[in-house]
Every structure is written in C-alpha cells, then in structure tokens.
Amino acid sequence: MTTQQGTRQRRDERFDAGRTDRATFEVRSPGTGDVVGTYPVHTDDDVRDAVRRAREAAAWWADLGFAGRRERLDAFRGILARRIQQLGGIVAEETGKPHSDAVLEVALVLDHLAWAAKHAEKVLGRRRVRSGMLTAHLAGEVEYKPLGVVGVIGPWNFPVFTPLGSIVFALAAGNAVVFKPSEFSPGVGAWLVDAFAQVVPEQPVFQLVTGDGSTGAALCRSGVDKLAFTGSTATAKKVMATCAETLTPIVAECGGKDAMIVDEDADLDAAVDGAVWAGLMNAGQACIGTERVLVHERVHDAFLAKLTAKVSGLRAGADPEAKIGPITMPSQVEVIERHIADALERGGRIAAGGGERDGQVVQPHVLVDVPDDALANTEETFGPTLTVGKVRSMEEAVARANATSYGLGATVYGKRGREVARRLRSGMVSVNAVFAAAQLASVPFGGVGDSGFGRIHGPDGLREFTASQAVVRQRFKSALPLTSFERTAKMEETLGKVVAIVHGRK
Ligand code: NDP
C-alpha cells in the first residue's frame, strides 16, 4: 500500500469543523513505515468540552434503562461482527499484527459485549437484601447506579479487545464514555466510535479524543467520574497522580510477567502449543502473554525439545505470510534487545530462534539457563521471548512464579492445575489452556501488585463503573426503638439480653 492510498485523513467533526489551526500527529504502519492516518491533538479545552457533552448524553443514556441500552449494544455488536474484516484491517495496519490475529481479536470481544448487555440488569438492578434479628423491622434494597462519565485510556497492543473491556462494561452500566486511544492506534478508536454512533445517533454517548500522553492527562483532569486506564505500570502511576488532583477514582490494568507452570503429568504437546502461542502471538506484546515457563525436571528436556522444534518453524516478518508481526512501538525494540543481551551476559543461552533484527522485526527467542533475577525474568519484556527454567517440585514452581512484583495472569498445565492455580499470586489463572480467563466473559479480568487494581469483565467489571446505593425503609415500629432519645432503661436492659443471646455465645 502506498502512503497516498493508505492515508485516512480522519477528523472528529464535532471538534474540528472549520478548524485549520489544530496540531496533528501521523500514524505509521510498523511493517511498512507508511503513514496510515493523521489525527488531531486534542487540547485540555477540547477534552473538557467532550466531557461536558458526555455529561448530558449520560443522563439520556441512563434514562434508556437496561433494556434500551441492551438493544443498542446488541446492534453495535452486530456491526462489529458484520464488518469484522474491515476493522481487522485497520488493527493490522496500525499495529502491524497479522490480519488473521486482528480478526481473532475482534471476534473475542463479541462474547464480552453480549454478556455485559445481557447481564447488566441482573447484576446492577435493584434487589432486596436480608435483615438481621435486631433489624427485622427494616427492609433494605441495593442498586448499582451509573457514575456518569467514564474516561477510558487504552493501549495499542489489543486496540479493540482491551479498551472495549472497559468501554462496553461502562456503557452497559449506564455511563457515557470519552475514549483516548493510544497514539499508535487512533484509527481503531475512531472506527469504534463511528460504528457506535450509527446505533446511537441521538447523543454523543461514546466519544473519541486523540493525541499523545498530554491528551490522556487532560482526560484525567477533565472531571470524569472514573478513569479506566490500561497500559504500562509506569504510566499508571502518572495517571493515578494526576487523577488524585481531583480525587477521580481509577481502574488500573497494567503490565505483567506471566509464568506458565508445566507439571510432570502435563500433556506436553498441549503445553508446548500453548507456550508458543501465549509467548509469541502478537510478537509477545500481550499483557497476559507468557514470558517465563517453569517446567518440572522430569519432563523439562522433553518439553524443551518439543518447544525448540516448534519455535524453529516460526518466523517474524512484515509480510502477510509471517505468523509473527513487527514490534509496534519503535522504542520497545530497545527494551527487548536489552533483556536478551542481559540474559546472555549472565549465562543464558538461546535454545531456539534468535537472529538479526530487521527494523522493527524481532525474531522469536527461547532462552534457557537465565538466572531468576535477570531482566528477562523480572521485568515485562513485551516481545517474542520465552525463558524456560527447570523446577524440582510444584512448590518451587509456585515460589518462583510468585517472585515478581507483577500479578496479572498465569497458566498451569498438569493434572493438579486447579490446586496449583490457587497458590499463585495473580488475578487470573488458565489451566490446561492459554488466555482462557480472558476469553470467558463471566469472570473478572485484572491483576494485583504492579499489574494494577480494579476489574473489567464479569459482574465485577459491571460494578466497577457504578456506585452502590442502599435504600432502607422501616416496615414496622421496632419493639426496641434504639435510634431515639425516648429509649428507656428497660429497653436498654432488653437490648443487653438480646445481644448476649445473638452474639455472646461465640
Ligand atoms: P503506555 O503506558 O505507554 O500508554 C497507555 C496509554 O496511556 C496510551 O493511550 C498513552 O497515550 C497514555 N498515556 C501516556 N502518558 C500518559 C499520561 N501522562 N497521562 C495519561 N495518559 C497517558 O502503554 P502502551 O500503550 O505502550 O501499552 C502497553 C502496556 O499496556 C504494557 O505494559 C501492557 O502489559 C499493558 N497492557 C495491560 C493490559 C491489561 O489489561 N492489564 C492489556 C493490554 C496492555 P500515548 O500512546 O498517546 O502516549
């Protein structure tokens, strides 16, 4: 594709009608270097305007109710499903990932969209709660109300799946959303906002602002009711500091250093297949990508032989036949090379893959004999690398897997997988499968430690974008009216007896 053919001069007309003084930025496709889009850098004022419009839209959207919103969200899902190839094309163009992987990313989001729209009422709607013995005269109800306007800041690595994990759940809960995609993938954000406007033409319920980190910071300061951030741990700290200025709460979905544990009784072919895919898909640029593999010593050599054979058949490239695409962000190439060099300097070896880098194309690397405290085992590499280590027992595997400041996802292969999973310090564990927890719409997605806090997906993901409200009414007058100065000494004596019976026997 030539630069001319590839360029989409897209602007958000609601902001930019008649403006010629606007600063802009270009998006280049990582594989070809072609400019594939030019977008405005939205300023603090632009972002505040968007949030002001969103506030009006939020009231209208909340009034639609669960059923009305479900209808629109289902229609949005229909557009995504019908135009999956078109959207996949933009994802591939902006991120450099193979087109088939881009289409898979869109396909995986559809279940989440359906789940959020379908379950929002059941999870968030008004429901009665039980009273206690001393509170039998009271009847309580709880409901989860939308916050108003949610700001979403997204990364480029899964520019559909990742931000929609926040956006769709925030929308289903009744909020309006202002979305700031990564400066590497604004075209995907623009496509999503345009598609949503087709099913919700009445109000700007889902808006786009584009730019670099400064536009993101403006969104943090704009008065949104919550900020859902997905990106690196370092940026999350800046986002949290900026949001603290206005006491804006945040969800932080950050990086990871996920381990895969392979037990002695694991299906080795399945484990190898899983490790290769979870480690190298999207050129390793996945927050829940496997970066470290810990294998029981009894099967370590057999596992490594199968793994190296499989990786040797894989090639990274910018051409359509390559299963692994180029690295999206030029600056990440330096991080990956630094981690590999550090591992080799400290006694590590390349067991499979390797080879010269070509521009932003980095070949896969399987590294062995890498010390636990090497960068490739402690920091997020975010590239097509896997370290493989040997463990004597599952106890050792758990201890080494947990020896990281991150705690996002993990994978276990073996018959004791569920038992091992429960001892891992991570928000999600997939057993005898990879990326399983991310696929299932009904379970929460998120991490602990440096991987962040808060949850998207599942019931927790819906509640994340709401505030609970308790309404408690008196059904009848209590025989022990405690909340009154009319309380008598006799009543207090009775209270003492009741309390002793109810709570004093423990
Ligand atoms: P970054 O942290 O670099 O950027 C994330 C977003 O924050 C981008 O939109 C970026 O804008 C914006 N941003 C940058 N600076 C600021 C600022 N000061 N204030 C507000 N916003 C700002 O992450 P990447 O885009 O490089 O994404 C990769 C990271 O995301 C990895 O660490 C990965 O593990 C993590 N990730 C986590 C996931 C999860 O669910 N836990 C899922 C996917 C990725 P701009 O790009 O324009 O600079």
Domain harbouring 328, CATH code: 3.40.309.10
7 and 143 both lie in a single domain: yes
Alpha helix positions (H), 143-293: 161-172, 186-199, 213-221, 233-244, 268-280
Separation of alpha carbons 290 and 387, rounded Å: 9
Q: How far away, in angstroms, is 193 Cα from ligand 1 center? A: 19
**Longest CA–CA separation in the chain, Å:** 90
The dihedral of CA 271, 253, 285, 438: what is its sign? positive
First-to-final CA distance of the chain: 75
Residue 83 lies in a domain: yes
Cβ atoms 418, 324 nearer than 8 A: no
Look at residue 14 in the predicted model and tell me its pLDDT: 45
Look at residue 16 in the predicted model and tell me its pLDDT: 54
Which numbered atom of ligand 1 lies nearest the CA of 220?
20
Look at the chain and report how many structural domains it folds into: 2
Q: What is the pLDDT of residues 80-120, one digit of tens each?
A: 999 999 999 999 999 999 999 999 999 999 999 999 999 99
Residue 383 lies in a domain: yes
Helix-strand-coil split of the chain, %, nearest 5: 45, 20, 35
Look at residue 481 in the predicted model and tell me its pLDDT: 84
Q: Which residue in 253, 291, 380, 464 is the catalytic one? A: 253
Q: Which residue in 183, 254, 287, 380 is the catalytic one? A: 287
Task: Give residue ranges with CB within 6 A of ligand 1.
Answer: 153-158, 162, 180, 182-184, 212-213, 216-217, 220, 230-232, 235, 238-239, 242, 253-256, 287, 329, 380, 382, 408
Query: Is 220 labeled as catalytic in the residue annotation?
Result: no
Q: Determine which residue's CA is closest to atom 8 belonging to ligand 1.
A: 182
Q: How far away, in angstroms, is 156 Cα from ligand 1 center? A: 8
Separation of alpha carbons 71 and 118, rounded Å: 10
> Structural domain of residue 86, as residue ranges?
3-253+459-466
Q: What angle do CA 367, 372, 378 make, to 5 degrees?
A: 90
Q: Give the number of other CB atoms < 10 A from CB of residue 489.
A: 7
Helical (H) or strand (E) element with 72? helix 65-82
263 and 171 both lie in a single domain: no
Average pLDDT over residues 72-84: 98
Q: How far away, in angstroms, is 88 Cα from ligand 1 center? A: 21
Q: How far away, in angstroms, is 52 Cα from ligand 1 center? A: 25
Q: Give the number of other CB atoms < 10 A from CB of residue 392.
A: 10
**Ligand 1 pocket mutation pick from 232, 335, 456, 460 by most atoms within 8 angstroms of CB:** 232
Q: How far away, in angstroms, is 254 Cα from ligand 1 center? A: 8
263 and 212 both lie in a single domain: no
109 and 75 both lie in a single domain: yes
Q: What angle do CA 257, 261, 266 make, to 5 degrees?
A: 150
317 and 213 both lie in a single domain: no
Q: What is the pLDDT of residues 131-173, one digit of tens each?
A: 998 899 999 999 999 999 999 999 999 999 999 999 999 999 9
Name residue, tokens 């058949």: 313
**Ligand 1 pocket mutation pick from 182, 237, 405, 450 by most atoms within 8 angstroms of CB:** 182
CATH number at residue 228: 3.40.605.10
Residue 500 lies in a domain: no
Q: Determine which residue's CA is closest to atom 39 belonging to ligand 1.
A: 253
Q: What is the pLDDT of residues 181-221, one digit of tens each?
A: 999 999 999 999 999 999 999 999 999 999 999 999 999 99
Query: Is 254 labeled as catalytic in the residue annotation?
Result: no
Distance of CA 341 to the CA centre of its chain: 30
